[in-house]
Structure 1
Amino acid sequence: MTMTHPADNLSISSQARLRPIEEVAGAMGVGQHLLEPYGRGVAKLDLTAIEELAARPQATYVLVTAITPTPLGEGKTTTTVGLGQGLRQIGRSATISVRQPSLGPTLGIKGGGAGGGWSQVVPMERLNVHLTGDVHAVTAAHNQLAAMVDNDLHRGSPSGLDPNAVTWRRVMDVNDRALRQIVTGLGPAVNGPVRQTGFDITAASEVMATLSLSRSLADLRARLGRIVVGRTRDGEPVTAEQLRAAGAMTVLLKEAVRPNLMQTVEHTPALVHCGPFGNIATGNSSVVADLIGSRCGDFLVTEAGFAADMGAERFFNIKCRISGLVPDVAVVVATVRALKVHSGRHRVVAGRPLPPEMTEENPEDVMAGADNLRAQLAIIRRHGVTPVVAINAFPTDYPSEHEAIAAVAEQEGVRCALSTHFEDGGAGAAELAQAVVDAAEQPEPGGFRFLYPDELPLRDKIERIATEVYGADGVDYSPTAARDLDSFTASGYGSLPVCVAKTHLSLSADPTLTGAPRGWRLPVREVRLSAGAGFVYPICGDMQTMPGLGATPAAGRIDIDEEGHTVGLY
């Protein structure tokens, strides 16, 4: 097969011969009584599957993560899909579990999240645009709570909610910078009190994170009730339960809590569910999808957002705490272009071609950026998980550059495999699949371990992440952040895990620092609470939770042809 341009992904998807979704489920050992078809090639899975399949053997649990990415991304989803197909190529049954893309990036600059080339989930148009409406259900549930907050204020705050201490904003699933800061209640008094608020993208909603970390519908109902929307004048938290909003929110999410079943171009079963923002939340697919997928074959392959310092750390210390599943192997995706950037000699800008000098053969630049790969491997090993390096091949690479990455992996004592899954599908990932099988048979000494215990104080949890994962010398708290931590601890949230919100473009909190920076401290300017999802998140730097559109957004290229087929989506 020849290398496929991203614009051809839709063409590959449209030509894919889909198997009936009942056959895909059958390959997982899932009966039709657990399926509710949603059009061609998609079905919802009933959550009773978790209990029904519980007696089956546990699949080998594989996480796909990466080195610190460029703004272009390094292909984690494509690698996840390719690896699932590759495992089947070598005779192992496999299911993949991936996140549902957000419309904002799809219509903005990043494109869709279905994978790419001959390693993608199909139909990719369905996956990237609406799917079964889960994201819209999250939007509705989140905004219903926002409406209940404003209604409470309009009625004189019977809950005791302080109008100046409301933290609950609104969300929508497109990029719209004009809505980052707004004023509501303008006009006559019947429109409610005038106050400043704003919008975030739906993927950044605490409801999305809560949905992704719930183990059942009842668990979701309880978690939604714990969401804190603000505080009283005495500093006491006000919850969705107190506003009597959690019940209606649960009803709106009753269908969305069930995972979606699709397939790859090679018919590997694909569970697609949830998509919490990777900067301020877990950046992982749902717990319930993994609980089902972990009983459906030899291997379950899932992914985590951004690099190991972010998505994998949260996967280990937040998601695995809740699911009870123990990862066996972590695949660290490495690309020539990202390692060249980590040499500090090049700069990549989203939406623009690679600088010409980056496409020249230069294994020395690859080696110069290798400290980032070494640091990400150390993070995986710190948690007692066996790492495997996947070299995600691009057409601008040279064999000498791939050899440089392999040499680094050998120095670190880690298995490494070149993967051409984008171009060659599962056959191109067979070598990687075998490396994963071999790694699973030789676990790290001591086995899986969390970075910190639940009872460790919040400050100590943050410091442990900063020093042992990011490589910082320590943590500096602003007065606001210090007050936040004291307040959350006093309110009974001190045992929650921590989800540090920082840039994804560096191991540090400074996006301009490449490689594996040393001699820096993590600056925490404030700390926020996601009581429903069940974590606190320190804010380190300027986190943008409502993206804007670029100069040439993807939405400008998307259309329909004369036959009504979608064109321009990738």
Structure 2
Amino acid sequence: MAYKTDIEIAREANKKPIQEIGKKLGISEKDLVPYGHDKAKISAEFIEQSKKNKSGKLILVTAINPTPAGEGKTTTTVGLGDGLNRIGKNAMICIREASLGPCFGMKGGAAGGGMAQVVPMEDMNLHFTGDFHAITSAHNLLSAMIDNHIYWGNELEIDQRRVTWKRVMDMNDRALRDIVTSLGGVPNGFPRQAGFDITVASEVMAILCLALDLQDLEKRLGDIIVAYRRDRTPVYCRDIKADGAMTVLLKDAMQPNLVQTLENNAAFVHGGPFANIAHGCNSVVATKTALKLTDYVVTEAGFGADLGAEKFMNIKCRKADLAPSVVVLVATVRAMKMNGGVAKADLGTENVAAVRDGCPNLGRHIENLKSFGVPVVVAINHFVTDTDAEVDAIKEFVAAQGSEAILSKHWEFGSEGSADLATRVAEIADADMANFAPIYPDDMRLMEKIETIAKRIYRADEVLADKKIRSQLKDWEEQGYGDLPVCMAKTQYSFSTDPNLRGAPTGHSLPIREVRLSAGAGFIVVVCGEIMTMPGLPRVPSSEAICLNADNQIDGLF
């Protein structure tokens, strides 16, 4: 049977005017800032007024470690949101915006798939409402103002060897990781080594996603440490006097974007930090506003639960005073077989033994998530090649872990296929079974926080960090940053730092290459293994197949 592509399904969507979607949430037309007919931003005034409402239940969707077989976390998030509405619940979803880098690289988009999508799909995966461009501009304005300050006399006595603020762009470009700037003589400034990160790794992105309002945004931007003097004292963004102008550039980007699913249910799509190099969650403003507008909010955290969910719990929930009522852990038969040693080309053949062999990865994620005090439901995202015996093998394994697995066919049937999952998730959320708590306290030493994650989540035997890194962590503690959470930058493909080590490995070490203080965002970034904060394109990037067809429609996107 031939299935339509995601983009073909999205083009056939019967979209309602965005004003109708807003009306279902109680948002009047005057509080919507429309971007065309099918997307809009929510006014800051409405967001402020909504804070007096009662909060709904928060449902987190996460997944096993990603494999080339596909897991479908966003698809499940959308399907579950539609399913909750189908069974009579008042629900909406909150997801991240898509980065152009992976869209033109290899990861693909971030709008769901099949009959469980958010639309307009093409807009969401490309420029959308310009939020990422605003973040890129604000970030690079600060970069320009730092170099400009140095050029005009360097009143702050910045040590040019210790400028920590890189530039960013929303594209995978390995050639920009390490560069030399200001060549060409006196008019161009003082040459120094610099580099680019991808926009989704920018501290400005993290700040926008964690800030509570424009005032909090400006304060956090001012707190960014951009460089150090020769005496090692920090130079802040506010010292450069860039925080005000950056806030102006980000004023509209702070407002959540309202769109809809294929079934005309509301969705906030806002912010987009990667989970392997940043904290991997949509904005606090979008999530908290959604909780004031509906009874259930389904949100997701990036990549596997060892990255996205861990940071959601330890960073976002801690900082925003949020607590999930239930976690939905997405797995697929195909991914279990791949974890069990089956090659991608052979995934279509039934192999129950391989499913069982791959389940330890799933089991470890279940155990880790339960350690946060939150009940866990496994969603088996159905593929048409799955057999009953393979599905039953996962259900039996999950039952032995003290949880339950539910088959969901939202990709093929939309909310009709996710109704069973939605019913059970709502029951658990309503039962108030969660007793959520982060896995480490604020006052734990920074190195101990890293070791807690490494040993309790990754199951590493040890953390490898040289004297320079340990001294840097101690210095930050002495400067008053010891109460910050840690944000691990690590490969998404494995519990270890080896992307080829699948399953549930033990006996490995966690090597720390670098630590970075994100004082504005409010966390310490810990760069582990070979992870890059500026990705590169693959040998055959997706961009080679993306084009306009004879009808000026986008082809090759998905």
Which TM-score applies when normalising by structure 2? Answer: 0.97
Whole-Å separation in 1 of the counterparts to 2:160 and 2:283: 34
* Deviation, structure 1 residue 197: 1.2
1:445-494: CA deviation from partner (whole Å, max 9, x where unpaired): 6x111111111111111111112222122322112211221221122111
Gaps of 5+ in 2: none
Aligned to 1:504, which of 478, 492, 498?
A: 492
Q: Are residue 355 (structure 1) and residue 345 (structure 2) matched? A: yes
* Deviation, structure 1 residue 3: 6.7
**Counterpart secondary structure, 1:547:** coil
**Which piece of structure 1 moves more, 433-442 or 188-197?**
433-442
Task: Output aligned runs, 1:396-435, within 5 Å.
Answer: 396-435=385-424
Gaps of 5+ in 1: 348-353
1:27-51: CA deviation from partner (whole Å, max 9, x where unpaired): 1222223211111200001133333
Counterpart of 1:527? 515
CA contact (8 A) 1:502 1:541 kept: yes
Task: Output aligned runs, 1:100-249, within 5 Å.
Answer: 100-249=97-246
Task: Output aligned runs, 1:437-448, within 5 Å.
Answer: 437-444=426-433, 447-448=435-436
Counterpart of 1:374? 363
Aligned partner letter, 1:255 = D
Whole-Å separation in 2 of the counterparts to 1:373 and 1:492: 38
Task: Output aligned runs, 1:23-172, within 5 Å.
Answer: 23-71=20-68, 73-172=70-169
Aligned partner letter, 1:400 = A
- Moved beyond 3 Å, runs of 4+: 2-5, 441-445
* Deviation, structure 1 residue 116: 0.8
Identity of aligned residues (%): 49
Whole-Å separation in 2 of the counterparts to 1:155 and 1:525: 35
Counterpart of 1:338? 335
Whole-Å separation in 2 of the counterparts to 1:278 and 1:490: 28
Whole-Å separation in 2 of the counterparts to 1:64 and 1:94: 14
* Deviation, structure 1 residue 544: 1.3
Aligned partner letter, 1:268 = N
Counterpart of 1:4? 3
Aligned partner letter, 1:505 = Y
Whole-Å separation in 1 of the counterparts to 2:503 and 2:192: 44
CA contact (8 A) 1:558 1:568 kept: yes
Whole-Å separation in 1 of the counterparts to 2:225 and 2:56: 37
Aligned partner letter, 2:360 = D
Which TM-score applies when normalising by structure 1? Answer: 0.95
CA contact (8 A) 2:510 2:529 kept: no
**Which piece of structure 1 moves more, 541-550 or 160-169?**
541-550
Whole-Å separation in 2 of the counterparts to 1:246 and 1:399: 57
* Deviation, structure 1 residue 73: 4.1
Whole-Å separation in 1 of the counterparts to 2:487 and 2:92: 27
Counterpart of 1:291? 288
Task: Output aligned runs, 1:383-402, within 5 Å.
Answer: 383-402=372-391
Aligned length: 558
**Counterpart secondary structure, 2:267:** strand
1:228-278: CA deviation from partner (whole Å, max 9, x where unpaired): 112111111111111111111111101000000000000110100000121
CA contact (8 A) 1:138 1:202 kept: yes
Counterpart of 1:14? 11
Counterpart of 1:517? 505
CA contact (8 A) 2:151 2:190 kept: yes
**Counterpart secondary structure, 1:532:** coil
* Deviation, structure 1 residue 444: 4.0
Counterpart of 1:551? 539
406 and 372 in structure 1: CA distance in 2 versus 1, 3 angstrom threshold = same
Whole-Å separation in 2 of the counterparts to 1:141 and 1:291: 24
Aligned partner letter, 1:517 = P
Whole-Å separation in 1 of the counterparts to 2:270 and 2:120: 15
Whole-Å separation in 2 of the counterparts to 1:516 and 1:76: 20
Whole-Å separation in 1 of the counterparts to 2:214 and 2:461: 42
1:505-544: CA deviation from partner (whole Å, max 9, x where unpaired): 1112222222211122322232111111110011111121
115 and 149 in structure 1: CA distance in 2 versus 1, 3 angstrom threshold = same
Tell me the C-alpha RMSD between the 2 structures. Answer: 1.5
Aligned to 1:482, which of 455, 470, 482?
A: 470
* Deviation, structure 1 residue 4: 3.4
Aligned partner letter, 2:390 = E
Whole-Å separation in 2 of the counterparts to 1:222 and 1:413: 45
Aligned partner letter, 2:493 = L
547 and 476 in structure 1: CA distance in 2 versus 1, 3 angstrom threshold = closer
**Counterpart secondary structure, 1:510:** coil
Whole-Å separation in 1 of the counterparts to 2:335 and 2:156: 51
CA contact (8 A) 1:334 1:392 kept: yes
Counterpart of 1:541? 529
Counterpart of 2:441? 453
Aligned to 2:274, which of 250, 268, 277?
A: 277
Q: Are residue 321 (structure 1) and residue 318 (structure 2) matched? A: yes
151 and 73 in structure 1: CA distance in 2 versus 1, 3 angstrom threshold = farther
